[in-house]
Amino acid sequence: MLSVVRVHLPSEIPIVGCEITPYVLLRRPDGAVSTDEVPEIAPIDGQFMRYRWYRIQSDRKVPICSVHPMEQATIQCLGCLKSKIPVAKSYHCSAKCFSDAWQHHKVLHERASSALNENGAEEEELFGRFGSGGSGVLSTAGSGSLSNFGQSPAVNNGPVPLYPSGTDKNSGETWFEVGRLRTYTPTADDIGHALKFECVAVDAEKRSPVGPPTSIMTSRVIPAPTPTPRRLIQVNGDVLGHLDLDSQTTSLGTFTVLSYNILADAYATSDAYSYCPTWALSWTYRRQNLLREIIGYHADIICLQEVQLNHFEDFFAPELDKHGYQALYKKRTTEVYSGNPMAIDGCATFFRRDKFSHVKKYEVEFNKAAQSLTDAIIPAAQKRVALSRLIKDNIALIAVLEAKFGNHGAENPGKRQLLCVANTHINVHQDLKDVKLWEVHTLLKGLEKIAVSADIPMLVCGDFNSTPGSSPHGLLAVGKVDQLHPDLAIDPLGILRPPSKLNHQLPLVSAYSSFARMVGVGYDLEHQRRRMDPATNEPLFTNCTRDFIGTVDYIFYTADSLTVESLLELLDEESLRKDTALPSPEWSSDHIALLAEFRCKPRIRR
């Protein structure tokens, strides 16, 4: 007989838009246990599994605290309602909760007021809708309709009847059947309600259950947390201001580039990020939150790091394809890596098919470069030790693209506009400063060869695991390394000698240094200046965990061929620390995304 041994949920907290696939362990008629599906079209010994999902609906819908989603809301901010801010953002579980969150919460009101003042009407922004301003007035949360939490996503939960499946007279609860598949994706209608999953073996001939059903309950469904939208801040032009990311109207001849380390699922463990709720660390939640964020930026070119091979093939490539992106991918090499071959991470570069076409792809494997280096300069007896230090499985993905937009320069009408985009993750332990600098130098020398042969604008994006002031950052930003730099003292293999060779001829500039160089005053500019380090002209941080905060991610560009038009605003540490650090329910990586809008300059031969 087919029977259920055990059922459990990947997370007790269901979130709108994030599918739930229960773990169902079955005992087959032959005694073997399995988690395989047994559908009606392929029964075993005349039996198959039937699944049902129910919404447990009481007479009153329960509002959920926007800060503490496990808590029931008791007060509501009336200013949010007046400003047409999503109603889910207006609920708090206590006056202290609202007071503690006020510095972060009031930004919603400021944005709403700013949107009205600048546009005279409501404007759509990333992750939410904002209109006229309002004050932070509280009211007691009542039993009013919460139907404005959001629209139900286009999900397939199977055919379901449009009537209640049962009522418990003692509790006043009604069970609504909402799904007939093993997997269920909660919708906005489920917010505030618990769900019940039920499975039972069914006789294929009699169409009746074989034994009692097995069921499991979830806690109440919560809305997906949504962070305050990040805006593009104009840095080149007479008027300082912000641009609407949702408008998708970049100027003629400009394009946007996003660089983002998304935190591979293999690294997103509760041991490493114990401060992040387990449901917010789950890949089913994070992938949807990351995708929503990435798509919302409307970037023309997307450079992602820490993208697992299985997640690239099964999720990011097909999902971004729906939004008009072509994908390129390079996984890390496997001389050191010994885990699941499908779970190895790498770099993924996407570009909009309507803005660019693919010309050429280069793949850099630092392991191969290490082998060549040791063959050339390391004595045979020391090669094994040298390779164990140098081989880290890191890679870089370089794409040459051709622009489909204009502005190639009046003096060169009709000339092809090419662009070279490098995407890398220099994942090297902090103690191996020589290896990190050697990898960055190797990448830059490779890019130099492309620049000489093609004479095209270049972008170098990624997570370099190098803070401002380090030797890799100096090499990137200045074109050389100070021969007295303390990093050069660590060179047991002699790979950095002589220090005078540590240079390159690419006129690279960090895109975000444009914030520090801006002249003028204004609300947006002052906010961004406070989030920059005046000593280094770089952001105060791009990586923020409980144990580390600092800048390790960059977008570098060749300043003789590109200019920065605008930058995605930086986040402030205070707003992130309310959840201890990153990742959090709102932001699903321990890094923040960087985005810059560029314009191609008229070509001047280097």
User: Which tens digit of pLDDT belongs to each residue from 44-82?
Assistant: 999 999 999 999 987 566 788 888 777 888 899 988 888
Distance CA 525, CA 527 (A): 5
Q: One-letter amino acid identity for 328?
A: L
Q: Kindly state the DSSP code that residue 557 receives in the 8-state scheme.
A: E
Sign of the torsion angle spanned by Cα atoms 268, 274, 275, 279: positive
Q: Is there a contact between 430 and 416 (Cβ–Cβ < 8 Å)?
A: no
Q: Could you tell me the two tokens for 226?
A: 């949504």
Q: What is the pTM of this model?
A: 0.84
Distance CA 514, CA 529 (A): 10
User: How far separated are the first and last CA of the chain, in Å rounded?
Assistant: 77
| The pLDDT value given to residue 126 | 32
User: Strand 33-34 and strand 47-57: pairing?
Assistant: unpaired
Domains of the chain: 3-58+173-221 (2.60.40.2700), 232-240+251-600 (3.60.10.10)
Sign of the torsion angle spanned by Cα atoms 331, 335, 339, 340: positive
When the pLDDT of each residue in the chain is averaged and rounded to a whole number, the result is: 87
Find the mean pLDDT for residues 379-389: 95
pLDDT one-digit tens code per residue, 437-496: 999 999 999 999 999 888 899 999 999 999 999 999 999 999 999 999 999 999 999 999
Q: Which residues pair with 419 in a beta bridge?
A: 401
Q: Which residues pair with 174 in a beta bridge?
A: 57, 167
| The pLDDT value given to residue 454 | 82
Cα three-residue angle 2-6-11, rounded to 5 degrees: 135
pLDDT one-digit tens code per residue, 270-328: 999 999 999 999 999 999 999 999 999 999 999 999 999 999 999 999 999 999 999 99
Place of tokens 């907290």: 13
User: Strand 138-140 and strand 3-8: pairing?
Assistant: unpaired
pLDDT one-digit tens code per residue, 536-569: 999 999 999 999 999 999 999 999 999 999 999 9
How many residues can be counted in the chain?
Answer: 606
Find the mean pLDDT for residues 578-590: 94
Reduce the secondary structure of 405-428 to three states and give it as a string.
CCCCCCCCCCCCCEEEEEEEECCC
